[in-house]
Amino acid sequence: IRTIGVLTSGGDAPGMNAAIRAVVRTALGNELKVRGIRRGYSGLLNEDIIDMTARDVSDTIQRGGTILQTARCQEMCTEEGQQRAAAICKKYEIDGLIVIGGDGSFKGARALSNLGVNTIGIPGTIDLDIACTEYTIGFDTAVNTAMEAIDKVRDTSTSHERCSIVEVMGRDAGYLALWCGIANGAERILLPEEHDYNVDKIIEDIRLNRKRGKKHYIIINAEGVGNSVQIAKTIEEATGMETRATILGHMQRGGSPTAKDRVYASIMGAKAVDLLVEGKTNRVVGYKHGEYVDFDIDEALNMEKGIPQYQYDIAKELAL
């Protein structure tokens, strides 16, 4: 191989820049040419492609977001779009394409690999919802950002002896909610994986909690459950306890990446290039049982994972 391409796709995540930097510098170290594709698959389809040097990634490891920009691209979900994207990769002589993003982005990568473009996926999403890996770029920063915000909500909640329901991101997955629930010592965590929450039980628990002398009641609600404002209203009406809903939103996706996100992203970025140099094709990089690993892209997309029940049970036990 002589030339590689790199793009970020889907929702941005802190640490993506560290991954891009590692891709660029590892590739240049192996005497490969690097083409940066701006704005994800949309940029690929618009041929928004730039040559990258080691200096283009200077001073980026500490920056949130993605210097290559990103997008969610509907056209890449169509066969026509995929064929056009593959033809553009060939036109720019891209022998290996590194895609940093989530499951949706990997589906685009799989389509390209089926059309003869060698692709390597790097898991980048704050949601942690990629089955083949225990770590995704951005999750650690997002948890820490949300945790700090929830600590602040907790201060005012305690002062006013209120119930607070704080909604965190995660799309259909509850990992961010579960981690914040434990890290913030929440009284209750609502996860989409639970399928159903029982508001009557929460109300009963709030009453019990007050008898136990607790000054607040913090509920971490996952975006996949949603309805935070309505849940707050129901709780306030039933318990008489003032209840406020806070939806943290996109602040969870921003900010300077934590050390963990910078280091893991750097290693994953370098590994993706190493795989291409070794002649491997169509892989997804992951982190499992303390090691950096890689899987066939098809195999990776067919894997499943769920909320760790033990962790969830402990979160409940500690809410006493």
Residue numbers annotated as active site: 127
Residues touching ligand F6P, count (CB under 6 A): 11
| 303 known member of a binding site | no
Q: Does 253 bind ligand F6P (CB under 6 A)?
A: yes
Whole-angstrom Cα distance, residue 273 to residue 280?
Answer: 10
Q: Does 261 bind ligand F6P (CB under 6 A)?
A: no
Q: Looking at 103, 140, 187, 223, which residue binds ligand F6P (CB under 6 A)?
A: 223
**Phi and psi of 211, rounded to 5°?**
-65, -35
**Per-residue b/e over 68-107, b at no fewer than 16 CB within 10 Å?**
bbbbebebbeeeebbeebbebbeebebbbbbbbbbbbbbb
Which range touches ligand F6P (CB under 6 A), out of 163-171, 188-196, 226-234, 236-244?
163-171
| 199 known member of a binding site | no
Contact status, residue 218 vs residue 187, Cβ threshold 8 Å: yes
| 256 known member of a binding site | no
- 82 is written with which tokens? 């995929």
| 157 known member of a binding site | no
Q: Does 167 bind ligand F6P (CB under 6 A)?
A: no
User: Min. distance of Cβ 36 from ligand F6P in angstroms?
Assistant: 22
**Per-residue b/e over 233-248, b at no fewer than 16 CB within 10 Å?**
ebbbebbebebbbbeb
| 126 known member of a binding site | yes
Closest CB to ligand F6P among residues 126, 178:
126
User: Min. distance of Cβ 169 from ligand F6P in angstroms?
Assistant: 3
**Dihedral sign for Cα atoms in the order 124, 128, 132, 135:** positive
Burial (0-12, 13-18, 19+ Cβ within 10 Å), 33? middle
* Binding-site sequence positions for Mg(2+): 103
Please state the residue numbers annotated as binding site: 11, 21-25, 72-73, 102-105, 125-127, 154, 162, 169-171, 185-187, 212, 214-216, 223, 244, 250-253
Binding residues for ligand F6P, rule: CB under 6 A, are 11, 72, 102, 125-127, 169-171, 223, 253
